[in-house]
Structure 1
Amino acid sequence: MPKHLFKKKLSKTDIEYRMAVPMKRLHAFQIPEGEHSKDFGVTDIHGKRWRFRCCTRKTDRYPKPVLSSGWIEFAKTRSLKVGDEVTFSVVDTKGAEDLELGIQARKKIKLFGEEIWTPPL
């Protein structure tokens, strides 16, 4: 059973450049000490596998983790916009080297003047 990691409403920066990760969830990405990034697998609800990279700042005492490589392609493929939402969950941790996350995205749309959320994408 997947364990909820975090949910995030997307900002302009999240969509166009990189997605900020909540600092309190950095531990889940298992970036080795002395390193500043780690690639990991992500599976969407359709079973498609993606590769994302979680990076931190090298010289700042506040690491400010972000998702870079792979994330923007996912966001564009799903046509995600500002205000849409993504949910990450931990699917498997086969060891310190293999992190597998699940991802779901939902879009906020207006229908007959009402804002509603789509089913997960």
Structure 2
Amino acid sequence: MPKKLFKKTLSKTDVDYRMTIPMDSLPAFQIPEGEHQKEVAAVDIDGHRWSFRCCTRKKDPHPKPVLSSGWIKFVKNRGLKEGDEVIFSVPHIDGAEGLFGIEARKKIKVFGQDFWSNPL
């Protein structure tokens, strides 16, 4: 069972430009000291591999990590919108340490109640 790194409800900025990453999850991305970005790989529930760039601010005491390059492609592929949810995990798949897991769930409103789709 993969270990959940974080779960996030997507904001408008997350689906239009880049996804902000919770600060307490930043160490898992292992950006080398002195650098401000790193390419990271994630695998979805279908086994499709995605590549994202994890970036932080260069000269700011608050690094505000984000996923940029490749992120919007994932959002569009999954048809994600504001209010949908993404779950990142750090599994060990086929011995590939550091390969993140990614799941997306769409929020569906039925008769005023919120339901979640199966992972995408």
Coarse TM-score class (shorter-chain normalised): over 0.9
Amino acid at match of 1:53: R
* Alpha-carbon distance, 1:92 to partner: 3.1
RMSD across aligned C-alpha pairs, in angstroms? 1.6
Percent identity between the two aligned chains: 64
Can you give the 5+ residue segments of structure 1 that lack an aligned partner in the other structure?
A: none
Q: Which runs of 4+ in 1 moved over 6 A?
A: none
Corresponding residue for residue 99 of structure 2:
100
Corresponding residue for residue 11 of structure 1:
11
The residue correspondences of 1:81-100 to structure 2 (distance < 5 A) are 81-92=81-92, 99-100=98-99
Determine which structure has the larger strand proportion and give its number.
Answer: 1
Matched residues in 1 for 2:102 and 2:43: separation?
Answer: 6
Amino acid at match of 1:63: P
* Alpha-carbon distance, 1:2 to partner: 1.4
TM-score by length of structure 1 reads 0.92
> Is 1:44 the counterpart of 2:34 in the alignment?
no
For residues 40-93 of structure 1, the C-alpha deviation after alignment (integer angstroms, 9 at most, x for no partner) is 110000110010110000011110000001111000110100000000000239
Say how many residue pairs are matched: 119
Can you give the 5+ residue segments of structure 2 that lack an aligned partner in the other structure?
A: none
SS, match of residue 92 in structure 1? coil
TM-score by length of structure 2 reads 0.93
Amino acid at match of 1:119: N
SS, match of residue 5 in structure 1? strand
Matched residues in 2 for 1:92 and 1:114: separation?
Answer: 36
Amino acid at match of 1:13: T
